[in-house]
Amino acid sequence: MDGFENDRRSLGAKQGVDRREMLTASLAVGFAAATHPVSAQTVIHTSAEGLEAGTVGIPTADRDVPAYYAMPAKPGPFPVVIVVQEIFGVHEHIRDVSRRLAKAGYMAIAPELYVRQGSVAEMTDVKEIISKVVSKVPDAQVMSDLDATVAYAKGTGKGDTKKLGITGFCWGGRIAWLYCAHSTDVKAGVAWYGKLVGDASANTPRHPIDVVGELKAPVLGLYGAVDQGIPVETVDRMRAACQAADKTCELVVYPDTPHAFNADYRTSYRPEAAKDAWAKMLAWFRDHGVA
């Protein structure tokens, strides 16, 4: 694709208009299904002032994978944190999370991991999002795309992948657990309300509780006690499995807290839990070599 080599050399490289528009459109997943309703009083807007931020293409074997990135606007290299999306894709909340991490000194990069299966931008029904897109995304494809994201960050010269972390939310929380079992490069993971158990399928053959023995990095799990989709019993099972496997994991459960408690654009947002969890995430990264 035109401008591809320049893109690979630098996240700040000039891109052609067509390429830029394509990438921006691919990442323009809005809040159609995610916001019922949006709370204007709680939505956090993190400025890009002092940052370098935008959209790029991650080279993979079959296509470019669009990604949003943010990092300090000064010489690097910076420790790298991969940000893995909710089921709603790389929308503005995930971009804002990336900017928050950049403000903390990281290169944050959020690849659009549904790009081959389709866009969820115009979908308004969660069941439709899951049945038509999310359920068709193979874990193996996701792991490969995340590996490519790491290689891309390293190749820019601005990302220090010797200090690599991953964090994910909801669907991405599950992926964060799996990637910490998959990758030998990642130093620490933080999973926000990521599902821990489930039925095996062709696309999702194993779940976090199935790969505990293979974890290669310490993982912090952040959960809500009244999450309707992730019973506390499964969190307790995961904690026991990590202890039995002698893995460095911490699972925090916030009382009276629902799923998606960090999603400031949704009614599930719980600012006190979100603030505490964010501080715990940064401390986890710092304590495990991602800083």
Does the annotation count 288 as an active-site position?
A: no
Could you tell me if 115 and 123 are in contact, meaning their C-beta atoms sit under 8 angstroms apart?
no
Tokens of 57: 């293409």
pLDDT at 251: 99
Question: Containing domain of residue 234, as a range?
Answer: 4-28+50-287
Does the annotation count 249 as an active-site position?
A: no
CA distance 125 to 250: 33
Does residue 250 carry a pLDDT above 80? Answer: yes
pLDDT at 34: 54
CA distance 291 to 172: 21
Does residue 21 carry a pLDDT above 60? Answer: no
Could you tell me if 190 and 220 are in contact, meaning their C-beta atoms sit under 8 angstroms apart?
yes
CA distance 88 to 94: 10
* Number of structural domains found in the chain: 1
Mean pLDDT computed over every residue of the chain: 90
Task: Calculate what percentage of the chain has a pLDDT beyond 70.
Answer: 86
1 — pLDDT class (breaks 50, 70, 90): very low
Which of these is catalytic: 170, 180, 242, 249?
170
38 domain-assigned? no
278 — pLDDT class (breaks 50, 70, 90): very high
54 domain-assigned? yes
CA distance 70 to 49: 11
pLDDT at 32: 52
Does residue 12 carry a pLDDT above 50? Answer: no
CATH number at residue 233: 3.40.50.1820
Q: Which residue has the tokens 């807290």?
A: 257
36 domain-assigned? no
255 domain-assigned? yes
Which of these is catalytic: 93, 182, 207, 259?
259
Which of these is catalytic: 64, 145, 185, 227?
227
Which neighbouring-strand residues pair with 192? Answer: 169, 222
For the chain, the farthest-separated pair of C-alpha atoms sits apart, in whole angstroms, at: 53
Could you tell me if 193 and 277 are in contact, meaning their C-beta atoms sit under 8 angstroms apart?
no
pLDDT at 27: 43
Does the annotation count 180 as an active-site position?
A: no
**Averaged pLDDT, 9-24:** 41
